[in-house]
Amino acid sequence: MSDVPDPKAPSKPEPSSGPETGSPPGQAGEPAAANKAGSWGAALLTTFTTVFLAELGDKTQLAALLLAAQSGRPAIVFVGASLALISSSLVGVLLGRWLAKVLPPQQLERLAGLLMVGLGLWLGRQAVLNLAPLPDGLPLG
């Protein structure tokens, strides 16, 4: 019973699987290097889809539209808005990494999951209310 290898033990690097082509050997922090490229693309695609869908028709666009209409120079407005959005997503990513350092992963995942569910419910409620507006006088929101 005791000679069963512990699956949690860090396994030695197998000689059959050579080093990844073109990747520096300094990236030893990730044990699961097999699906590295796949999950990288998946993370990119997931983030893109979620943010893009959530952002369409949002207040950022309203602000950009207003500025573009007032100034008549949409190119400059677009550059400024893009820089601001890139900055804000950088702030978000850095905040997330900081939280991942100070919180235990399980607790962080639970909190993040609850936050995402809350955001989803709120976003869905707004979309539904816009699609089918309630009559006035209802004590909602």
Binders of other proteins among residues 78 to 97 (CB under 8 A) are: 78-97
Nearer to other proteins, 69 or 134 (CB): 69
Cα separation of 99 and 134, whole Å?
A: 39
Cα separation of 55 and 89, whole Å?
A: 12
Cα separation of 99 and 110, whole Å?
A: 13
Cα separation of 127 and 122, whole Å?
A: 9
Near other proteins by CB under 8 A: residue from 13, 20, 27, 110: 110
Near other proteins by CB under 8 A: residue from 6, 16, 17, 59: 59
The interface mask with other proteins, positions 38-57, x = CB under 8 A, is xxxxxxxxxxxxxxxxxxxx
Cα separation of 108 and 100, whole Å?
A: 7
Do 112 and 104 contact (CB within 8 A), yes or no? no
Nearest distance from C-beta of residue 32 to other proteins, angstroms:
8
Verify binding: residue 27, other proteins, rule CB under 8 A: no
Nearest distance from C-beta of residue 4 to other proteins, angstroms:
15
